[in-house]
């Protein structure tokens, strides 16, 4: 079929679809349909007839009586979520029923945007390779507000947005600008959006500030992901009313740990210390280790204004240069923070261990503690390495136990994902002046192991049936097994580099083979890329009331109990523990649906927070490279696409793009199966993992990209 005829056929299909969309309850023959859509020629009417029968075969229409067709409502519509960030810049519907993704042409989006929940009408296949459809209803918008830059020309004000948010500018009427100036970053809400081809009209709801200003850019990143960038003053005032003085009667109701050696180990810039460890040797030779967690729910009452705001946020957000807290600072940094030499209320897991780090006994209880010392990770690490410093015996003992706990965990099948994290040294204006890498050392692993232990035993405490009791409803942190197809694809990919993993068999054998892979690639050029792809082949950990265990940690029961200052699920867990230890049975029946909803919301907000953190790192990387135009670096190819090659600089992990069109020595073709591009004439190949030398060409902070070129 010629291109001209294909276009004509598609136009008629669209007209038939529009006609039935507007007349869903009646049936028509091909003559009636032809007349309604303006078809007069005999050959075109015959085409309409053929298309109606095609749509019946596709179950989009049904034949009510011979020759008459009506909408087959059950089969022709599907709901799902718009994905505008797919490969090759195409737009798809991701169906709710997990069936095949459906292509949507730009003309058929009908104002639907990325992330929107929509209703789609399917088109007949017409021998195409992929399903296609048209948006007929926007069920729920993914976002109400849009971030962009004010552009004023010829007296007309528009907000120019990121294409991923909105593929067109928002027109701002003169009385709705809030006096925003040209070039400023602002947030706008759409007020009117008429015909699908017209620009929306909106109003400025907040002026973030001048483009390029550090606070402006960080707030813009948060706003782009729908995250709050300021704490409501009225809630800060509400928090300031909470009394930090501990009532003597409250102390009497708790186990007193104030005289037992206790300390915190945290990042050097931390202010919200939500966990502490106590340790002492008991008379029988066993070791008591207390994992003490800030008792946030004692101060934040369920259903209070502060609690409702914490629900909305669900998590603290950690950007490069700041923390956006879940709770007001008076609570997170003062009242609940386990600061040294201050009496604090805690929720504690108290373990009795032998010298092999085996748990002999445990109890979960509310306590009062007094931290003797605040350590940074660096200070604790120095004590581990030198054997000198405050509380040396206690730290070395805990480190020894932590190593044994870790060894036992990996023997059970836990996976050792330990990627180094990019960190920045920034000046007083937020400008990055250096890049360094945060690596997990023994002091980090010490804290990690005891937090994992506490989380596991809290989950077991409630989740494991006792005396044939029905398990109580609880909030778990779950991690499903890898998708077999994703794992198989990953195994096929790494085979090109000479590596193998098991994709079938016992959980422990699969996870053990992944650990062997991670050990084998350490220090190799392909390490970062393979680790990234390995993580992508795994399922995402989420919160749920339905326990399936945690695959990555190799634990049948796991929850989040240890960070209630920064994660709402931990507050939920604390409250459920309190309910289930309350002797008044009338308080032991939490609403299952409420907790399911809170779990999903918390999982979603966690993902948004992670995306915002990555966006802030990306922005600072580009800002760091902005004054390095023309400089040459060694790098490794980290990704391949139809339009270019991604390269990560070895010394600072900044990633940029080399466009295929800028490779002048040949015409390169994308080989999707082998993750490479190949020159047609020279057969020269660029593939993932190759070392290359690049020159920095451009650093665009507005569009947020780095451009490189290959240096031969």
Sorted by sequence, the CB contacts under 8 Å of residue 253 that are 6+ apart come out as: 366
**Do 643 and 668 lie in a common domain?**
yes
- 248 with 267, same domain: the answer is yes
Bridge pairing between strands 255-256 and 359-370: parallel
**For residue 323, how far is the Cα from the chain centroid?**
17
DSSP string, 612-670: HHHHHHHHHHHHHHTT-TT-EEEEEEEEE-SSEEEEEETTT--EEEEEGGG-TTS-EEE
Q: What is the CATH number of the domain that holds 693?
A: 2.40.50.140
pLDDT band of 330, cuts 50, 70, 90: very high
**Whether pLDDT at 231 is above 60:** yes
Q: Is the pLDDT of residue 169 over 80?
A: yes
In the structure encoding, which two tokens stand for residue 592, read together? 């299952």
Last residue of a domain, one of 178, 211, 244: 211
Rounded to an integer, the average pLDDT of 397-403 is 98
Nearest of 294, 292, 306 to residue 262 by alpha carbon: 292
Check whether residue 407 and residue 302 sit in a common domain.
yes
Query: Are 550 and 683 found together in one domain?
Result: no
Residue linked to tokens 């400008």 = 431
Compute the radius of gyration of the chain from its Cα atoms.
30
Q: Do 147 and 612 meet the contact criterion of CB atoms below 8 Å apart? A: no
- Are 405 and 352 in a shared domain? yes
Question: Are residues 508 and 592 both part of a single domain?
Answer: yes
| Distance of alpha carbon 137 from alpha carbon 144, whole angstroms | 17
Contacts of 189 (CB under 8 A, 6+ apart): 144, 145, 146, 202, 203, 205
**CATH, residue 164:** 2.40.50.700
257 burial type by CB count under 10 A (0-12 exposed, 13-18 middle, 19+ buried): buried
> Which of 596, 616, 636 is at the close of a domain?
616
State residue 75's pLDDT score.
53
Establish if 677 belongs to a structural domain. Answer: yes
- Are 479 and 553 a contacting pair, CB within 8 Å? yes
Q: Considering the domain boundaries, does residue 152 fall inside one?
A: yes
What are the tens digits of pLDDT across the range 625-660?
A: 999 999 999 998 888 888 899 999 988 989 999 999
For the segment 252-308, what is each residue's pLDDT rounded down to a tens digit?
A: 999 999 999 999 999 988 889 999 999 999 999 999 999 999 999 999 999 999 999
The predicted pLDDT at position 76 comes to 67
Domain of 663 in residue numbering reads as: 626-710
* Residue 228 covered by a domain: no
Contact 336, 274 (CB under 8 A): yes
Confidence band for 87, pLDDT divided at 50, 70 and 90: very low
pLDDT in tens, 576-616: 999 998 755 545 567 788 999 999 999 999 999 999 999 99
Identify whether 634 is part of a domain: yes
Q: Enter the tokens of residue 653.
A: 């992990």
Split into its structural domains, the chain has a count of 6
At 126 the pLDDT is 54
Is 612 domain-assigned? yes
Residues 310 and 371 in one domain: yes
Q: What is the CATH number of the domain that holds 18?
A: 1.10.10
The owner of tokens 């010298």 is 355
**Percent of the chain at pLDDT above 70?**
94
Q: Dihedrals φ, ψ of 242, to 5°?
A: -70, 130
Question: Which pair of tokens denotes residue 471?
Answer: 């398990």
170: helix, strand or coil: strand
| Whether 605 and 508 share a structural domain | yes
- The pLDDT of residue 228 is above 90: yes
> Vertex 706, ends 703 and 710: CA angle to 5°?
145
pTM of the model: 0.84
Q: Of 140, 174, 192, which one is at a domain's C-terminal end?
A: 140
Q: What angle do CA 114, 604, 479 make, to 5 degrees?
A: 120
**Number of residues written out for the chain:** 712
> Does residue 240 sit in the same domain as residue 369?
yes
Residue 416, in any domain of the structure: yes
CA distance 296 to 11: 61
The two structure tokens encoding residue 588: 């032991």
Of 241 and 74, which is predicted with more confidence?
241
Q: Render the burial of 428-467: b for 16+ CB within 10 Å, e for the rest.
A: eebebeebeeeeeebbbbbbebbbbbbbbbbbebbbeeee
Q: Do 381 and 251 fall into the same domain?
A: yes
Residue 651 included in any domain: yes
- CA 414, 420, 421, 426 dihedral sign is positive
Residue 295 lies in a domain: yes
Whether 395 and 438 share a structural domain: yes
| Contact call for residues 82 and 101 (beta carbons, < 8 A) | no
Same domain, 355 and 367: yes
Least confident among 174-183, 311-320, 451-460, 523-532: 523-532
Is residue 287 within 8 Å of 397, Cβ to Cβ? yes
CA dihedral 338, 341, 344, 346 (to 10 degrees): 60
């Amino acid at each position: 079929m010629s291109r001209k005829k294909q276009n004509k056929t598609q136009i008629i299909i669209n007209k038939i679809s529009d006609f039935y969309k507007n007349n869903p309850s009646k049936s028509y023959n091909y003559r009636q349909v032809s007349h309604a859509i303006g078809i007069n020629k005999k050959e075109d009417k015959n085409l309409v007839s053929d298309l109606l029968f095609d749509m019946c075969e596709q179950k989009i229409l049904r034949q009510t009586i011979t020759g008459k067709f009506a909408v087959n409502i059950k089969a022709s519509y599907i709901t799902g979520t718009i994905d505008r960030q797919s490969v090759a810049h195409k737009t798809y519907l991701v169906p709710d029923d997990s069936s095949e993704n459906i292509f949507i042409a730009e003309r058929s989006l009908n104002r639907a945007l990325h992330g929107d929940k929509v209703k789609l009408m399917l088109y007949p296949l017409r021998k195409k390779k992929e399903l296609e459809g048209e948006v007929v209803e926007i069920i729920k918008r993914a976002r109400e507000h849009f971030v962009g830059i004010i552009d004023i020309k010829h007296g007309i004000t528009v907000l120019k947005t990121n294409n991923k948010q909105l593929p067109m500018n928002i027109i701002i009427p003169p009385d709705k600008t809030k006096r925003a100036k040209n070039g400023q970053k602002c947030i706008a809400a759409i007020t009117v959006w008429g015909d699908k081809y017209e620009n929306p009209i909106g109003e400025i709801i907040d002026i973030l500030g001048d483009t390029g200003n550090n606070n402006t850019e960080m707030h813009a990143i948060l706003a782009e992901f729908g995250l709050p960038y300021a704490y409501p003053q009225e809630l800060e005032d509400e928090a300031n009313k909470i009394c930090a003085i501990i009532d003597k009667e409250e102390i009497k109701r708790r186990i007193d740990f104030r005289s037992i050696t206790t300390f915190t180990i945290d990042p050097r810039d931390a202010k919200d210390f939500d966990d502490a460890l106590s340790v002492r040797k008991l008379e029988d030779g066993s070791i008591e280790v207390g994992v003490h967690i800030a008792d946030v729910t004692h101060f934040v009452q369920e259903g209070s204004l502060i609690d409702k705001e914490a629900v909305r946020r669900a998590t603290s957000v950690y950007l490069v240069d700041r923390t956006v807290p879940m709770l007001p600072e008076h609570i997170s940094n003062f009242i609940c923070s386990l600061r040294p030499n201050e009496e604090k209320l805690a929720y504690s897991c108290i373990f009795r261990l032998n010298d092999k780090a085996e748990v002999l006994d445990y109890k979960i209880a509310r306590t009062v503690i007094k931290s003797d010392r605040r350590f940074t990770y660096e200070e604790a690490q120095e004590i581990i390495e030198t054997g000198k410093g405050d509380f040396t015996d206690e730290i070395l003992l805990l480190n020894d136990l932590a190593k044994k706990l870790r060894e036992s965990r990996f023997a059970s099948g836990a996976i050792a994902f330990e990627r180094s994290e990019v960190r920045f040294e920034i000046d007083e204006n937020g400008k990055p002046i250096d890049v360094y890498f945060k690596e997990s050392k023994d002091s980090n692993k010490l804290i990690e192991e005891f937090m994992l232990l506490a989380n596991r035993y809290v989950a077991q405490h409630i989740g494991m049936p006792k005396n044939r009791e029905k398990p109580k409803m609880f909030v778990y942190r779950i991690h499903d097994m890898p998708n077999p197809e994703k794992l198989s694809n990953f195994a096929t990919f790494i085979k090109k580099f000479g590596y193998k993993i098991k994709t079938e068999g016992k959980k422990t054998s699969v996870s053990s083979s992944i650990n062997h892979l991670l050990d084998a690639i350490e220090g190799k050029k392909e390490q970062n890329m393979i680790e990234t792809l390995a993580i992508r082949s795994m399922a995402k950990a989420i919160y749920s009331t339905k326990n399936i265990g945690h695959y990555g940690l190799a634990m049948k029961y796991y929850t989040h109990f240890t960070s209630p200052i920064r994660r709402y699920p931990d507050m939920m867990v604390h409250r459920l523990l309190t309910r289930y230890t309350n002797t008044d049975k009338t308080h032991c029946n939490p609403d299952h649906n409420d907790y399911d909803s809170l779990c999903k919301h918390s999982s979603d907000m966690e993902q948004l927070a992670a995306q915002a953190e990555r966006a802030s790192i990306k922005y600072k990387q580009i800002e760091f490279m902005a004054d390095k135009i023309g400089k040459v670096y060694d790098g490794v190819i980290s990704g391949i696409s139809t339009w270019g090659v991604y390269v990560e600089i070895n010394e600072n992990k900044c990633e940029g793009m080399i466009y295929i069109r800028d490779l002048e020595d040949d015409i390169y073709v994308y080989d999707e199966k082998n993750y490479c591009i190949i020159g047609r004439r020279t057969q020269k190949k660029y593939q993932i993992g190759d070392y290359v030398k690049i020159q920095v060409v451009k650093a665009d902070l507005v569009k947020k990209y780095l451009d490189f070129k290959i240096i031969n």
